[in-house]
Structure 1
């Protein structure tokens, strides 16, 4: 069955956060990380069947979802996980916040790459923890974390290494060797690890493989909390069902205790959507990846011909990290908004001279946005 990712779904009059931001304005929204594609038909059908029951009482973690996810980890990563390691959450961001609060104490610090997805910084700020920033640097046209740069700042106060793999922004998929170096750094400095791997299914570069850092060794498992979700993969972010994989029973207990009375359980419809997506969504995902890969190539080619803009190759995600540092404007984000394209400001991630473009949209809309960007920079 072929899936039509060119289909236009008008979200401008819906409850879409992405499209509501620019309601009434001629600005194309290519910012927040959800796509404009219909979710897999299997997900829609499963939701319709569940809704037809007409009763929506309290739910509990789906045994079927647990079994599917355990099997998925085995088949994709040769990682043998146990059902009792799983903690289901109504979103991945709360997992970041819970990890910081469960694994660090007052006066202790976290450590994260920079630039980074904004909740990494906020989760530390919300908990009153200072964060050490490890710079992301370009090596062989890939954004990678420079741990050597922060070695002199490691005085024993940092307790949690927060990773993002694939990295957001930048789309880097860390190699096994890079992950082993990160694990060795964590071991040497006695750090726990929280690894956000929400984009692990969105690999665009042929031959690139995702490796969960916790799958590297028993030591990696015992010091790690791994966060995954079907939300970005299958465009069901509004149906929050995320999974924390915590092999260490003591850490898992701290995580669950920190959550108690604050973070609710997963919505029953979110369980239905997640189960259907993982069980029956692979054919749809393969077609989506083909479509996104072509969109990525289109963005890469066109951005790198626009005066003042550049981007490096990206292996994963549908989020292009665009360098606008050579553009003769004070605020690249505001500049492109005025040109009719709503991007994510690089300042949210830690570098105001960049912008992030979400190419998880129809090709026609993407071309329209790129045409506007090109006309704007050429008019300078």
Structure 2
């Protein structure tokens, strides 16, 4: 995108240190750049900020519900962006995606049934099986032609034969893989063979960094996929409104939707009025902002890959989606890569939290200035080992 066409300033430095930010308060008072939890440092789209200001000026914040307009916007968005025809009644609003993972773990399995999860993976996948007290089978995520993919065949021999739930993450976090249609069809075949429902976390679906890649919702590939699935999406990562808490479960199967809603009832609160306001404005007016953000993040991704892969002891595979880099530190002569870089002034997510202590995850949803300083510190730390 030509610089003259830019409407939005993603290089703008916003001080988050006095905003009760989980991300920035973790290292409060320390010279450590926070590059860990998956929220970005970008101000949300102007339309979102304006809509929130207008709603706040109303001054009354009572109990609320989703507007038909928001649901209509979301239904149209699924058709326009992903060629997926969904019905309004399939939509279940949630105050966050993690509660959706946990509800699905309980609603889509019976006692003794298995939950299959990729590993390494976003930690709430693993904890949802633990909290639901279901046996967990890990499908190891392996490198296949430069892309991280779960090896379902390796998980197959550990299955109980009693059915259960397959958790998937598309795009993959960590790793950034965008599933192809063939890969989704193979995943469906595995689920059909072993009588598994599927919970598909697609929260990063709008953050595709490769222009030639296309997100395909798992449930959209066939009637069978649709009827056995719960799809989880949200505007939170896309438009940096995670702190407001607005997520969406899409459940075409009426019986599954009823079970999901029953587990949720009385325990999971509704979505708040400001979250609904932000979600509607983001989906309705945020597309131009999103496209510029994608260009900005793709530039970060390319820079990061060049710099990390120039180091002799670290490796970063191509990231197709997300602003999260899954960095292989296996050849780094340190016992704890996360602690090593933390001491060098860069606060990354420990790979152990995801399932592999020899990796770290770096959030590059930040300004170029911050990213370049983080890379400078990491390079200096690695050089000190020579």
**Is the contact between residue 45 and residue 286 of structure 2 (CA under 8 Å) also seen in structure 1?**
yes
**Is the contact between residue 118 and residue 348 of structure 1 (CA under 8 Å) also seen in structure 2?**
yes
* Equivalent residue, structure 1, for 2:146: 141
Q: 1:28 aligns with which of 18, 25, 33?
A: 33
* Equivalent residue, structure 2, for 1:3: 8
Q: 1:263 aligns with which of 261, 268, 293?
A: 268
* Equivalent residue, structure 1, for 2:3: none
* Equivalent residue, structure 2, for 1:229: 234
Question: Which has the larger displacement, 230-239 or 127-136?
Answer: 127-136
Q: 1:360 aligns with which of 358, 361, 365?
A: 365
Distance 1:285 1:175 in 2: 22
* Cα offsets for 1:121-144 (capped at 9, x unmatched): 011111111210001111110001
Q: 1:76 aligns with which of 77, 81, 89?
A: 81
Q: Does 1:335 align with 2:358?
A: no
**Is the contact between residue 140 and residue 150 of structure 2 (CA under 8 Å) also seen in structure 1?**
yes
Q: Does 1:90 align with 2:98?
A: no
Give, in angstroms, the shift of residue 48 of structure 1: 0.2
Distance 2:303 2:202 in 1: 25
Give, in angstroms, the shift of residue 157 of structure 1: 3.5
Q: Does 1:214 align with 2:219?
A: yes
* Equivalent residue, structure 1, for 2:290: 285
Distance 1:323 1:13 in 2: 33
SS in 2 for 1:57: coil
Return the TM-score normalized by structure 1: 0.99
Q: 1:117 aligns with which of 117, 122, 135?
A: 122
Q: How many residues align?
A: 380
**Is the contact between residue 203 and residue 232 of structure 2 (CA under 8 Å) also seen in structure 1?**
yes
**Is the contact between residue 308 and residue 325 of structure 1 (CA under 8 Å) also seen in structure 2?**
yes
**Is the contact between residue 304 and residue 311 of structure 1 (CA under 8 Å) also seen in structure 2?**
yes
Return the TM-score normalized by structure 2: 0.98
SS in 2 for 1:138: strand
5+ residue gaps in structure 2?
Answer: 1-5
Give, in angstroms, the shift of residue 351 of structure 1: 0.2
Q: 1:52 aligns with which of 48, 57, 68?
A: 57
* Equivalent residue, structure 2, for 1:183: 188
Q: 1:169 aligns with which of 163, 170, 174?
A: 174
Q: Does 1:326 align with 2:331?
A: yes
Question: Which has the larger displacement, 75-84 or 171-180?
Answer: 75-84
Distance 1:181 1:203 in 2: 22
* Equivalent residue, structure 2, for 1:13: 18
* Cα offsets for 1:201-250 (capped at 9, x unmatched): 00001200000010011111100000000000000000111000000000
Q: 1:249 aligns with which of 250, 254, 260?
A: 254
Distance 2:355 2:174 in 1: 10
Distance 1:145 1:158 in 2: 19
Q: Does 1:348 align with 2:349?
A: no
Distance 2:266 2:114 in 1: 25
**Is the contact between residue 307 and residue 378 of structure 1 (CA under 8 Å) also seen in structure 2?**
no
Distance 2:135 2:29 in 1: 40
Distance 1:268 1:279 in 2: 17
* Equivalent residue, structure 2, for 1:194: 199
Give, in angstroms, the shift of residue 158 of structure 1: 4.3
* Aligned Cα root-mean-square deviation (Å): 0.7
Question: Which has the larger displacement, 195-204 or 56-65?
Answer: 56-65
Give, in angstroms, the shift of residue 113 of structure 1: 0.7
SS in 2 for 1:153: coil
SS in 2 for 1:88: strand
SS in 2 for 1:238: helix
Distance 2:54 2:156 in 1: 54
Give, in angstroms, the shift of residue 145 of structure 1: 1.4
SS in 2 for 1:210: coil
Distance 2:106 2:360 in 1: 30
